[in-house]
């Protein structure tokens, strides 16, 4: 099939890009390997809500309904994405996996699970978190307890009364630890390699994200001290509860390590009540034991690895020389590489101002560039 534009991925980034392309007079077709728009959100753990406020999480051209609440649930996001596709009359071909993109006769040839496709413009929007990443811990294959990645965690029900070690201090790890405690797990421990920056999700009802939007384009040397002062006033000193101070500021880590702060949904309280115990990073597994950095040992019933995801773009575009550090595209949004005209990437940044907000901005910019190129 030959199309004017192909969008790979029917998540927020792909839908926003397609909607803005359509508004600009370009007819896009979206390919998605899932059976239904929004499926990637439905598969998250039950407790999950956006850490960005509803009114700063809209995609262009349609607001998230107020009935979804201030902090939208994972199922609320899925409902919104389905409504968004209907509202913009987007053509989404579900159950179709894009496998490889190649340059062909001045356009792009896309190998898919349903046959070849071709288009002058391709927008890659497969998602920031695509492939679960599990560290190569020595001995993990012989661990006698349960070892699972956080992508497979749904509810605390299977862990009632059990001792659980959560590895990783991103937002998922922090929220799963809280969920386990509230759901009746036994001892819940949180393994920390690099101490995270922790901020309140909102301050007296005012979303912390707003500050991220305001400070988005300021240098880290200005933003980090403000965030540190805010943390001291609103979070307090967590070192007495075992959580070391973060070695670098909020914006420095976002810029250099691609890591946003924990926006708290209960971890601070659990630390102060000693319901979540902070332990060193995992070094290796030995039988029933988890050996931590420095030598301490735990014997948990289960280990949940909230150790992040890879972009998973290598099979699709890795051969084109367009991927840089951590498998992220070296061009993004409206920019294209000189050797790959008409090939755009969207949704592969992790800004402190909120991913969904930035996706909307990039979608508009891509549409303007594509329409002008026509």
Hey, where are the domains in the chain?
2-130+311-373, 134-305
Span of 16-30, 101-115, 116-130, 209-223 with lowest mean pLDDT:
209-223
**Mean of the pLDDT values across residues 12-26?**
97
pLDDT in tens, 22-71: 999 999 999 999 999 999 999 999 999 999 999 999 999 999 999 999 99
What's the CATH number of domain 2-130+311-373, 3.30.50.10, 3.40.710.10, 3.30.470.10, 3.50.50.60? 3.50.50.60
- Yes or no: say if 188 and 266 are a contact pair by the CB < 8 Å rule: no
Q: Could you tell me if 279 and 165 are in contact, meaning their C-beta atoms sit under 8 angstroms apart?
A: yes
CATH topology assigned to domain 134-305: FAD/NAD(P)-binding domain (3.50.50)
Confidence of residue 177 (pLDDT cuts 50, 70, 90): very high
Asked if 2-130+311-373 and 134-305 have one fold, the answer is yes
From CA 303, how far away is CA 284, in angstroms rounded?
12
pLDDT digits (tens, 9 = 90+) for 253-292: 888 888 889 999 999 999 999 999 999 999 999 999 999 9
- In this predicted structure, the answer to whether residue 322 has a pLDDT above a threshold of 70 is yes
Tokens of 185: 């797990």
pTM for the whole structure: 0.93
Backbone torsions φ then ψ of 204, nearest 5 degrees? 55, 40
The pLDDT assigned to 57 comes to 96
Tokens of 135: 């560290």
| Cα dihedral sign, 308-314-318-322 | negative
Residue 206 has pLDDT above 90, yes or no: no
In the prediction, which pLDDT does 1 show? Answer: 63
Tell me the torsion sign for CA atoms 230, 232, 234, 238: positive
What's the confidence (pLDDT) of residue 277? 97
Find the helix or strand (DSSP H, E) in which 119 lies: strand 115-124
Q: What average pLDDT does range 301-329 have in this prediction? A: 95
Place of tokens 């288009």: 119
pLDDT of residue 217: 83
pLDDT at residue 352 greater than cutoff 80: yes
Mean pLDDT of the chain: 94
- Cβ atoms 158, 45 nearer than 8 A: no
Give the model's pLDDT for residue 351: 86
Alpha carbon 126 to its chain centroid, in Å, reads 12
How far from the centroid of its chain's Cα atoms is residue 89's Cα?
26
């Amino acid at each position: 099939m030959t199309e004017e534009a192909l969008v790979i991925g029917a998540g927020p980034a792909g839908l926003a890009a397609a909607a803005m392309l359509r508004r600009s007079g370009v007819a896009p077709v979206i390919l998605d390997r899932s059976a239904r728009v929004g499926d990637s959100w439905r598969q998250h753990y039950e407790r999950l809500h956006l850490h960005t406020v509803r009114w700063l999480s809209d995609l262009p051209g349609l607001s998230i309904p107020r009935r979804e609440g201030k902090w939208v649930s994972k199922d609320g996001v899925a409902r919104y994405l389905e409504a968004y596709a209907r509202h913009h009359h987007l053509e989404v071909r579900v159950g179709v996996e894009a496998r490889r993109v190649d340059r062909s006769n001045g356009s792009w040839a896309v190998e898919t699970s349903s046959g070849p496709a071709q288009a002058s413009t391709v927008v890659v929007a497969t998602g920031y978190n695509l492939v679960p990443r599990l560290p190569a811990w020595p001995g993990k294959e012989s661990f006698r307890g349960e070892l699972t990645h956080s992508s497979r965690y749904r509810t605390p029900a299977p862990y009632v009364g059990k001792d659980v070690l959560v590895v990783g201090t991103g937002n998922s790890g922090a929220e799963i630890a809280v969920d386990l405690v509230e759901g009746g797990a036994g001892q819940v421990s949180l393994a920390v390699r690099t101490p995270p920056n922790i901020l309140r999700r909102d301050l007296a009802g005012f979303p912390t994200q707003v500050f991220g939007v305001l400070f988005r384009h300021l240098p880290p040397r200005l933003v980090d001290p403000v965030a540190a002062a805010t943390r001291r006033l609103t979070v307090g000193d967590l070192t007495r509860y075992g959580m070391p101070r973060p070695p670098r500021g909020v914006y420095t880590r976002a810029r250099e390590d691609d890591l946003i702060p924990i926006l708290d949904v209960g971890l601070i309280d659990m630390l102060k009540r000693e319901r979540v115990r902070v332990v060193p990073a995992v070094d290796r597994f030995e039988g029933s034991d988890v050996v931590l950095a420095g030598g301490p040992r735990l014997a948990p019933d289960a280990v949940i690895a909230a150790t992040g995801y890879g972009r998973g773009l290598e099979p699709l575009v890795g051969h084109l020389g367009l991927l840089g550090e951590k498998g992220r595209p070296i061009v993004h949004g409206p920019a294209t590489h000189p050797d790959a005209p008409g090939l755009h990437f969207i949704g592969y940044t992790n800004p402190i101002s909120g991913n969904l907000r930035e996706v909307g901005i990039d979608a508009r910019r891509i549409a303007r560039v594509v329409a002008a190129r026509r």
